[in-house]
Amino acid sequence: RQEIGMANPPVESMKELPSGAGKIPHINAVILGDSLASEEHDLVFPSADFSREALVSSPEQYLQMYRRSIEDPAGFWSEIASQFYWKQKWGQPVFSQNLDVRKGPIHIEWFKGGVTNICYNCLDRNVESGNADKVAIYWEPNEPGPHDSLTYAQLLHRVCQLANYLKDIGVKKGDAVVIYLPMLMELPIAMLACARIGAVHSVVFAGFSAESLAQRIVDCKPKVVITCNAVKRGPKPIHLKDIVDTAIDESAKSGVSVDVCLTYENQSALKRESTKWREGRDVWWQDVVPNYPTTCEVEWVDAEDPLFLLYTSGSTGKPKGVLHTVGGYMVYTAITFKYAFDYKPSDIYWCTADCGWITGHSYVTYGPLLNGATVVVYEGAPNYPDSGRCWDIVDKFKYVTRYSRKSLRVLGSVGEPINPTAWRWFFNVVGDSRCPISDTWWQTETGGFMITPLPGAWPQKPGSATFPFFGVQPVIVDEKGVEIEGECSGYLCVKDSWPGAFRTLYGDHERYETTYFKPFPGYYFSGDGCSRDKDGYHWLTGRVDDVINVSGHRIGTAEVESALVSHPNCAEAAVVGVEHEVKGQGIYAFVTLVEGVPYSEELRKSLIVTVRQQIGAFAAPDKIHWAPGLPKTRSGKIMRRILRKIASKQLDELGDTSTLADPGVVKQLIELADR
Ligand code: PRX
């Protein structure tokens, strides 16, 4: 049994948490250990030492700040925004918004009229304020061995050289640049270089296939694609440049041409001699970029100018280009980073996410660098050469004996619900029952953390994302869109805007309104289910739409279905998420074949290859279930509820199947489950 310090006597004032968030009960001590491990919802307190040093060290302090952020958002956020450099201060009002479709078009603006630059605030501001020689990035290569690093001054130089090159080849403010790079230092460098000149970066995760990359190129029409020739994740090299070549050819068929493919030679994976090359279009990074000056004038932009596009999966149709703007995103990522990780300037911070996803944008690149932090960027896979690699890296950058993990202070978790058992393992084993866990709930769309522990402020409950960040008003609504107070379960929505909110879906404002603001008028709808317990803690229960979350990768069932039906032998497909011990959710595909085509192992493999080619390896179905027919209503709608039950073998919970056009298909499907 282990006793965890009682740093923050729970207070009655938690009662005043808005939107029915409830109170923290009176508990005089918390004992963690095996005997209580099976009990749900036990509280885990930060140690007294941790809380004493924390930025927010008590529920009262949180409450006071939270209350102010809701009652006086303009004042609260202006104060935070003033910590950054603005060439010109924002105008009035500080923000304007309409989140209610019944009152006209949805719009969100923060700090409009303010003129700034996020790259300047990440780099120049830190260099000028005494952090020039502080390490900005430690880069750990795939192969264990010597690492690389860049100080803030060196990073600024590298960014300026690339920015100058991009300007020289004609990239201007507002132009899109597609970045298809693995976790090399050149990835954050490329993002920052775009931001410096006001170009809009669109990073595509380097695990996406040529077709997915082409789809994104066609949507945002970049003049330049930045990539590298190859990368090694684990033992085998992946030839990224070949994928880019195919994608650019594919885009040309839709009339979108790319003028320049700037290619970094990643020598540890592939030599330039072995790289396929298109003269006239392809340029080696190392041949041009280092020749440019190490200073580059900043392009000053409006707070509401676009910063980046990031495509994410929805429940229908093609991926959505989530658009974030400069000012609000800057303020929000910086401040959420600082508080959720209780950041101290001496910390070395490592986020294992890839910059191809929002977590890498907000919490590898922008949030930490805006705070002058030292970040670790790791090229490889977490289990290469073995599953101890993460702890090896943790210890390496603190120079202590192998796997001691003594340097760890705060742990984080994101992207999917963390179950209490995994939470306890993370807490007890990785963190030696010493480090609070910031289980942060948020989304590509929200820009930054929305519901998150502040690690020194209050006790945690294993598996709960706890309470809202400053300025965020989560509400839980029922299916009619009516807000439910107190202890409840329902659909998670957000009332009012926050600075980091996305402003639109690129080129499709109507889809923005329809997807996020029409389901529950008056609110932003997250697509997630959530319950709130009697103490006001939030428990995320997963997506309530047709989006599945595989190892934290967000995938629309519709995307996988359309990849499957593009196979010449596939007539119809329906995909559902199914619980998976390791990945959280697995992909389960029901497939109807073209008349006369027999089931075969070969065909199963070829269907999986098709999905890998069209989306990426991470979207490959875990199971193909042959389906002579699919359960449909008389109007032809697939009843996914029934498919989910069949996939998860909950056959006694199939419910009413009498409304199906052909109730017989259900029996057939059950019979074919193990074929
Ligand atoms: O379902 C929620 C889940 O991840 C979705 C957002 O995915 P994406 O936009 O790719 O961003 C991932 C990184 C923020 C959400 O709709 N999710 C995210 N964080 C959590 C979570 N589910 C439970 N607990 C979380 N902490």
Nearest C-alpha neighbor of 577 from the set 527, 505, 533, 537: 527
pLDDT in tens, 496-533: 999 999 999 999 999 999 999 999 999 999 999 999 99
Report the separation in Å between the CA atom of 439 and the middle of ligand 1, taken as the mean of its atom positions.
Answer: 10
Identity at 460, one-letter amino acid code? Q
Task: Give the torsion sign (CA, 465, 470, 472, 476).
Answer: positive
Pocket test for ligand 1, best of 446, 551, 554 (most atoms within 8 A of CB): 554
* Contact in structure between 532 and 20 (CB atoms under 8 Å): yes
What pLDDT score does 403 carry?
58
Minimum CA distance residue for ligand 1 atom 23? 417
pLDDT value, residue 419: 87
- The pLDDT value recorded for residue 41 is 56
CA of 498 to the centre of ligand 1 (A): 18
Q: Considering the chain, what percentage of its residues have pLDDT values greater than 70?
A: 93
Per DSSP, the three-state class of 215 is helix
- Per-residue pLDDT, 404: 66
Quick check: ipTM above 0.95?
yes
Q: Of 267, 248, 253, 242, which is closest to residue 178 (Cα–Cα)?
A: 248
Cβ atoms 316, 546 nearer than 8 A: yes
* 3-class DSSP assignment, residue 647: helix
pLDDT score recorded for residue 317: 74
CB 452 within 8 A of CB 359: no
User: Please, is 674 exposed, middle or buried when counting C-beta atoms within 10 Å of its C-beta (0-12, 13-18, 19+)?
Assistant: exposed
pLDDT of residue 6: 31
**What whole-number distance in Å separates Cα of residue 454 and Cα of residue 336?**
9
Report the separation in Å between the CA atom of 414 and the middle of ligand 1, taken as the mean of its atom positions. 6
The answer to whether the peptide bond before residue 93 is cis (omega within 30 degrees of 0) is yes
Q: What are the structure tokens assigned to 670, written together?
A: 């059950």
Confidence (pTM): 0.92
* CA 207 / ligand 1 centre spacing (Å): 19
Low-confidence stretches of the chain (pLDDT < 70) are: 1-41, 400-404
Sign of CA dihedral 264, 267, 273, 276: negative
So what's the pLDDT on residue 314?
85
Whether 259 contacts 224, CB under 8 Å: yes
Q: Which residues are near ligand 1 (CB < 6 Å)?
A: 312, 357-359, 414-417, 439-444, 465, 526-528, 540, 542-543, 549, 554
- The residue type found at 625 is H
Residue of 411, 442, 557 to mutate, ligand 1, most atoms within 8 A of C-beta: 442
With vertex at residue 97, the alpha carbon angle to CA 60 and CA 83, rounded to the nearest 5 degrees, is 50
**Which of 281, 288, 76 has the alpha carbon at shortest distance from 193?**
288
pLDDT value at position 234? 85
Question: Rounded distance, CA 342 to CA 328, Å?
Answer: 21
Instruction: Verify whether residue 545 is a known catalytic residue.
Output: yes
The closest of 423, 342, 340, 422 to 49, measured between CA atoms, is: 342
- Find the Cα–Cα–Cα–Cα dihedral 331, 333, 337, 338, rounded to 10°: 0
Q: How far apart are CA 137 and CA 375, in angstroms?
A: 5
Distance, in Å, from the CA atom of 357 to the CA atom of 365, rounded to the nearest integer, reads 11
Please name the residues in contact with 428: beta carbons below 8 A apart, sequence gap of 6 or more: 32
- For a mutational test of ligand 1's pocket, the pick from 530, 540, 544, 545, i.e. the residue with the most ligand atoms closer than 8 A to its C-beta, is 540
Catalytic residue among 545, 622, 656, 674: 545
Q: CB-side exposure of 431: number of CA atoms within 13 Å?
A: 20
pLDDT at residue 87, rounded to an integer? 98
Please, which residues have CB within 8 angstroms of residue 71's CB and are 6 or more apart in sequence? none
Nearest CA to ligand 1 atom 26: 441
Q: Give 273's contacts (C-beta < 8 A, 6+ positions apart).
A: none
Q: How far is CA 288 from the centre of its chain?
A: 32
